[in-house]
């Protein structure tokens, strides 16, 4: 994947003259534009230069500048496989781009929520994750890390027994205000103006929502007239946390975003940081990463299959899927020590060398898994009820894919062969063979077939990784510990003085990263998981933006569900497969 | 005269005292069986902890449900809320009155029919009870003051209206062949001819099975429950034993009763080779009934679920015309041959 080519940049500069400035950094290239010309430039890029896919939109905050916010747009040209960054400074207002890319709707709301930037012309500029009535904007640099200590929240012990001396708990009593029931009611009212007979609150705690998403369905009988989604129940301020941690310290947080594909998240994150820091990764580590990322993809798709089928009433597929998942979980646990939030990868390599017997266990899995896949196909693929529930439901066109910034299996099911493992190879993906399945219609059934086939392709990759790892010498390095930013392996820390000192230094001071910006995305089971890192030369990122595939994929849900029934909603949501840890971050 | 009346009343009460507790007990134990079956279908063990093979599990469940706190939602319509439980349970139990478990036999000079009430419009009554039990679902959805329950019960209403009609038409063929609406009469008609009606009426049987699944809310027709969409739908606001009553009535008693009626209509009731002496009719009847119950559960743990609109679609556009054609053809054939 390239960044904006010189030739195109010159063309743009010629057309827009003074207002646009081309810039190129080590990892990115883009255009800086005055706010007044921003909309025009974006329209030009979309319509004339082929940058029709919306990738992401976010902001940066420089409190010392007069125009303190810098908006960052990220676009992609699918024909030329080219990305571009568009930046524009503002003191608080920007034109909306939702008429160009409807997928920017939620991104703009998020920027409004987190930075307080208003987008003129946005149809419903509400807070994205926080509740109505909350007056702060947390990602601004002047927002205190500990929050505003506005209200006292005593513990239950204190309520029952009163204040004691010494206090029963050693945490602060004063906290940032929490949303009350009235706040939530106001939030709900603000999102949806009732048009039809009955508003159904679907969630936040509902087994069909696959997490804590809050859907509002305005129903006419069983038909959904309009729908809105209230996110934020799982919002933990990941991006704010990242700004205050050393690069390596943020790694465990990535596990907790899309918790079903922890290794893939880690992979996307470490690859980004390695590009910024310029860390070479040893061959063995690359293959171990690929192996586990693909196992994790199978694992994640199996959970999607199980819960998706469970949603449509096929109870048995769920447990069959979990049977296979258990085997993968065991392999992960044997290597990383954890099952779900593995924290297995490290900047510069992986945490541990392959555990003894791993390859045998994986080979056994490779042998048995095709049979299980056949079983799932036998239960569902030609089942008439299954076909009736999935065919023609939630059809996503190619135009929708570009306009909404859809990625991953959702995009591929609509016939867009957007697979970052092919387009922008990382880890060992350019050294293994696999095919990218694409769908034709783009309905729920196609998304089902694409994911099923992806599992088979992942198995192929796993097989190639295993045979490669078997050939590599046993004592080949699995982490590049020469680089100053890389944590040495644990056993070295205990046995060698230099390594211990290095660890101390890294933990206490962190390794400063070179100044600059980098955007890198990994192909996650839920789409493109991108990390946009802006570094000012410290050991901590100045801003770390997480581009969530699940969030963008979910953003098309309200459009697709209009005019369909609740029963379709569940099939559709299952096929978009959001994980709330990632949508909310 | 008076003595006869008292005697027959006494016998009826005795039969009720035998059938109802046994049926309720079997119904409860079907939960154990279903969980075991589901477990083995899904590569699990099913209940194993309480008693040998988990056999005491239903008792433990009942104990748990009975000791739960009773929570009734604010704004619930209380009389209707309780009435719903009765309306779900009573018709399912009443259905059992119409099932002939075996042939008449003599005991101390008295002819005893192992059926609680052998009325000549038994089938009509059976379907009337079946329709009544739907009110349980609808009332529970309405009285709970919950949108989920309400949507679930409305779905059920739509499904039942569609399937009642098909059900009625599907059994008409058998009624035409047997020339009677009495359940005992239908069985005897099959025994006299030495053939089960499923051979003459295979289409009707398939239709009947569809309707039976829809009536009892089993997969693939469990739209009113649909735990992923409606969090078990119409009974979501019921707790403890009040909650337990609904599946017991719908999933177990109803399925037993409707399977038994299917056996009467299509599988020759108690007929079968005499392998256990005087007990063999009962044996055969129970085996056949249980076979159908097993089939229902098997489907439940294998198939996905339809949408409500698809179910009504299938019923009105496909099943009903087929059922009517079946009746017409049967009538014509019967008239000429």
Local confidence band at B228 (pLDDT 50, 70, 90 cut-offs):
low
Count other Cβ atoms within 10 Å, centred on residue A13.
15
CB-based contact B304 A386, cutoff 8 Å: yes
Q: What CATH number should be reported for the domain holding residue A349?
A: 1.10.645.10
Clarify whether residues A108 and A245 are in a common domain.
no
Query: A569 to chain B: which residues are within 8 Å by CB?
Result: 229
State how far the Cα of A341 lies from the Cα of A57, in Å rounded to an integer. 28
**A191 in a structural domain:** no
pLDDT for the residue B1: 67
Query: B306 to chain A: which residues are within 8 Å by CB?
Result: 385, 388-389
Local confidence band at B224 (pLDDT 50, 70, 90 cut-offs):
low
Compute the average pLDDT of residues B263-268.
Answer: 86
**A432 in a structural domain:** yes
State how far the Cα of A290 lies from the Cα of A344, in Å rounded to an integer. 12
Alpha helices, H only, A57-177:
104-115, 156-161
pLDDT for the residue A290: 92
SS (H, E, C) A509-527: CCCCCCCEEEEEEEEECCE
Q: What is the maximum span of chain A, computed from C-alpha positions, in angstroms?
A: 74
Does the pLDDT value for residue A151 go beyond 80? no
**Rounded-to-5 percentages of helix, strand, coil across chain B:** 70, 0, 25
- E strands along chain B, which residues? 105-107, 110-112
Distance from CA of B228 to the nearest CA of A (A): 5
The phi and psi torsions of B15 (rounded to 5 degrees) equal: -65, -40
Picking from A43, A49, A38, the residue whose alpha carbon sits closest to that of residue A80 is A49
Does the pLDDT value for residue B219 go beyond 80? no
Query: A394 to chain B: which residues are within 8 Å by CB?
Result: none
Mean pLDDT of chain B: 84
Distance from CA of B303 to the nearest CA of A (A): 5
Residue B200 forms contact with A (CB below 8 Å): no
Q: Out of A76, A97, A120, pick the residue that ends a domain.
A: A120
Does the pLDDT value for residue A557 go beyond 70? yes
Pick the residue from chain B with its C-alpha nearest to A311: B228
Residue A92 region by backbone torsions, left for phi larger than 0, else alpha for psi between -120 and 50, else beta: left
Does the pLDDT value for residue A158 go beyond 80? no
Assign B55 to helix, strand or coil. coil
State how far the Cα of A224 lies from the Cα of A241, in Å rounded to an integer. 38
Local confidence band at B234 (pLDDT 50, 70, 90 cut-offs):
confident
Alpha helices, H only, A92-174:
104-115, 156-161
pLDDT for the residue B265: 87
Query: B154 to chain A: which residues are within 8 Å by CB?
Result: 222
Q: Out of A72, A88, A120, pick the residue that ends a domain.
A: A120
pLDDT for the residue A461: 92
Please tell me which residue, A238 or A221, carries the higher pLDDT value.
Answer: A238
Does the pLDDT value for residue A302 go beyond 70? yes
Local confidence band at A170 (pLDDT 50, 70, 90 cut-offs):
low
pLDDT in tens, A225-280: 888 888 888 888 888 888 888 888 898 999 888 888 899 999 999 999 998 888 88
* Strands A69-77 vs A82-90: parallel, antiparallel or unpaired: antiparallel
Query: A208 to chain B: which residues are within 8 Å by CB?
Result: 228-229, 231
Tokens 């571009």 label which residue? A84
State how far the Cα of B221 lies from the Cα of B313, in Å rounded to an integer. 13
pLDDT in tens, A314-350: 888 888 888 889 999 999 999 888 888 888 888 888 8
Does the pLDDT value for residue B65 go beyond 80? yes
Distance from CA of B223 to the nearest CA of A (A): 9
For residues A263 and A292, the answer to whether their CB atoms sit within 8 Å is yes
CB-based contact B302 A314, cutoff 8 Å: yes
Residue B145 forms contact with A (CB below 8 Å): no
Compute the average pLDDT of residues B300-320.
Answer: 85
* Strands A516-524 vs A527-535: parallel, antiparallel or unpaired: antiparallel
CB-based contact B308 A565, cutoff 8 Å: yes
What count of residues does chain B have? 337
Clarify whether residues A115 and A242 are in a common domain.
no
CB-based contact A311 B228, cutoff 8 Å: yes
Local confidence band at A169 (pLDDT 50, 70, 90 cut-offs):
low
- Domain count for chain A, please give it: 2
Compute the average pLDDT of residues A88-100.
Answer: 87
Pick the residue from chain A with its C-alpha nearest to B152: A222
Q: What CATH number should be reported for the domain holding residue A57?
A: 3.30.460.80
Assign B90 to helix, strand or coil. helix
Count other Cβ atoms within 10 Å, centred on residue B212.
24
Burial (CB count <10 Å: 0-12, 13-18, 19+), residue A16: middle
pLDDT in tens, A111-121: 998 888 888 88
pLDDT for the residue A12: 82
SS (H, E, C) A318-361: HHHHHHHHHHHHHHHHHHHCCCCCCCCEECCEECCCCCCCHHHH
Compute the average pLDDT of residues B237-242.
Answer: 82
**A94 in a structural domain:** yes
Q: Residues 279-318, chain B: which have Cβ within 8 Å of A? A: 300-310
**A476 in a structural domain:** yes
Query: A309 to chain B: which residues are within 8 Å by CB?
Result: 304
**A381 in a structural domain:** yes
- For residue A301, the enclosing domain spans 238-480+512-584
Burial (CB count <10 Å: 0-12, 13-18, 19+), residue A178: exposed
For residues B171 and B194, the answer to whether their CB atoms sit within 8 Å is no
Assign A98 to helix, strand or coil. coil
The phi and psi torsions of A61 (rounded to 5 degrees) equal: -120, 120
pLDDT for the residue A150: 78
Does the pLDDT value for residue A163 go beyond 80? no
CB-based contact A315 B229, cutoff 8 Å: no
pLDDT for the residue A188: 79
Residue B220 forms contact with A (CB below 8 Å): yes
Joined tokens for residue A242: 């990242």
Burial A66-104 (b: 16+ CB within 10 A, else e): eebbbbbbbbbbbeeebbbbbbbbbeeebbbbbebbbbb
Q: Out of A65, A100, A120, pick the residue that ends a domain.
A: A120
Clarify whether residues A111 and A245 are in a common domain.
no
Tokens 């009235």 label which residue? A182
Torsion of CA B205, A567, A528, A285, to 10 degrees: -50
Work out how many CB contacts closer than 8 A connect A with B: 87
């Amino acid at each position: 994947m390239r960044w904006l080519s010189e030739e195109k940049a010159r063309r743009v500069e010629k057309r827009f003259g003074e207002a646009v400035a081309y810039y190129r950094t080590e990892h990115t290239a883009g255009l800086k534009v005055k706010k007044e010309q921003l909309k025009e430039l974006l329209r030009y890029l979309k319509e004339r230069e082929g940058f029709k896919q919306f990738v992401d939109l976010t902001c940066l905050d420089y409190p010392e500048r007069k125009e303190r916010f810098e908006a960052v747009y990220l676009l992609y040209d699918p024909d030329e496989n080219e990305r571009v960054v568009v930046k524009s400074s503002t003191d608080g207002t920007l034109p909306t781009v939702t008429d160009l890319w409807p997928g920017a709707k939620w991104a703009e709301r998020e920027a409004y929520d987190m930075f307080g930037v208003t987008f003129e012309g946005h149809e419903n500029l509400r807070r994205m994750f926080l509740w109505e009535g909350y007056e702060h904007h947390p990602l601004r640099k002047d927002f205190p890390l500990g929050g505003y200590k506005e209200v006292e929240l005593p513990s239950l012990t204190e309520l029952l027994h009163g204040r004691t001396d010494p206090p029963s708990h050693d945490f602060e009593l004063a906290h940032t205000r929490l949303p009350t029931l009235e706040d939530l009611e106001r939030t709900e009212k603000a999102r949806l103006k009732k048009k039809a007979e009955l508003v159904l609150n679907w969630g936040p705690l509902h087994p069909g929502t696959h997490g804590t998403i809050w859907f509002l369905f305005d129903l006419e009988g069983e038909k959904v007239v309009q729908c809105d989604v209230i996110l934020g129940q799982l919002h933990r301020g990941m991006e704010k946390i990242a700004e205050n941690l050393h690069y390596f310290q943020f790694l465990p947080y990535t596990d907790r975003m899309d918790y079903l594909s922890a290794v893939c998240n880690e992979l996307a994150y470490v690859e980004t940081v390695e590009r910024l820091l310029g860390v070479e990764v040893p061959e063995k580590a690359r293959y171990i990463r690929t192996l586990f990322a693909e196992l994790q993809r199978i694992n994640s798709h199996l959970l999607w299959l199980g819960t998706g089928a469970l949603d449509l009433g096929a109870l048995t597929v769920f447990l069959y899927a979990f049977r296979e998942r258990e085997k993968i979980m065991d392999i992960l646990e044997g290597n990383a020590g954890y099952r779900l939030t593995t924290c297995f990868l490290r900047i510069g390599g992986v945490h541990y060398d392959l555990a003894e017997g791993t390859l045998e266990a994986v080979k056994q899995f490779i042998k048995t898994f095709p049979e299980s896949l056949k079983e799932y196909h036998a239960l569902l693929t030609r089942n008439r009820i299954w076909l009736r529930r999935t065919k023609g439901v939630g059809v996503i066109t190619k135009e929708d894919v570009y306009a909404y910034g859809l990625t991953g299996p959702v995009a591929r099911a609509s016939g867009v062969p957007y697979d970052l493992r092919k387009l922008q190879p990382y880890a060992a993906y350019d050294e293994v063979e696999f095919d990218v399945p694409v769908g034709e219609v783009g309905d729920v059934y196609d998304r089902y077939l694409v994911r099923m086939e992806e599992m088979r392709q992942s198995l192929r990759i796993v097989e190639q990784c295993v045979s490669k790892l078997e050939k590599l010498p046993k004592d080949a390095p699995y982490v590049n510990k020469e680089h100053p930013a890389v944590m040495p392996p644990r056993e070295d820390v205990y046995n060698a003085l230099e390594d211990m000192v290095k660890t101390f230094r890294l933990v206490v001071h962190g390794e400063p990263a070179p100044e600059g910006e980098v955007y890198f995305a990994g192909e996650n089971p839920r789409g493109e998981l991108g990390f946009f890192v802006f570094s000012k030369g410290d050991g901590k990122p100045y801003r770390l933006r997480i581009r969530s595939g699940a969030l963008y994929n979910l953003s098309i849900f309200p459009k697709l569900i209009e005019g369909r029934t609740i029963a379709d909603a569940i099939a559709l949501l299952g096929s978009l497969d959001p994980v709330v840890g990632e949508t909310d971050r | 005269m008076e003595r006869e009346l008292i005697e027959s009343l006494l016998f009826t009460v005795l039969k009720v005292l035998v059938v109802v507790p046994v049926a309720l007990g079997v119904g409860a134990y079907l939960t154990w069986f279903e969980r075991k079956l589901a477990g083995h279908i899904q590569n699990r063990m099913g209940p194993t902890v309480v008693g040998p093979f988990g056999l005491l599990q239903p008792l433990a469940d009942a104990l748990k449900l009975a000791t739960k706190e009773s929570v009734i939602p604010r704004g619930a319509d209380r009389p209707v809320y309780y009435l719903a439980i009765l309306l779900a349970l009573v018709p399912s139990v009443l259905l059992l009155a119409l099932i002939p478990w075996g042939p008449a036999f003599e005991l101390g000079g008295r002819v005893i029919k192992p059926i609680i009430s052998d009325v000549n419009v038994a089938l009509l009554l059976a379907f009337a009870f079946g329709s009544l039990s739907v009110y349980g679902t609808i009332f529970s959805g309405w009285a709970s003051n919950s949108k989920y329950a309400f949507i679930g019960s409305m779905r059920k209403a739509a499904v039942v209206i569609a399937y009642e009609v098909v059900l009625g038409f599907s059994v008409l063929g058998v009624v035409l062949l047997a020339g009677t609406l009495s359940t005992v009469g239908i069985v005897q008609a099959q025994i006299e001819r030495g053939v089960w009606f499923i051979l003459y009426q295979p289409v009707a049987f398939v239709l009947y099975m569809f309707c039976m699944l829809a009536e009892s809310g089993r997969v693939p027709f469990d739209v009113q429950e649909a735990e992923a969409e409606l969090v078990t739908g119409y009974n979501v606001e019921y707790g403890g034993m009040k909650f337990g009553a609904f599946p017991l009535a719908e999933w177990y008693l109803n399925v037993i009763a409707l399977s038994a009626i299917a056996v009467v209509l299509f599988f020759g009731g108690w007929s079968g080779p005499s392998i256990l002496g005087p007990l063999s009719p009962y044996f055969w009847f129970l085996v056949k009934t249980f076979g159908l119950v097993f089939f229902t559960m098997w489907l439940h743990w294998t198939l996905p679920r339809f949408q409500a609109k698809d179910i009504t679609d299938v019923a009105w556009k496909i099943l009903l015309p087929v059922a009517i054609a079946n009746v017409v053809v049967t009538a014509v054939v019967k008239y000429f041959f």
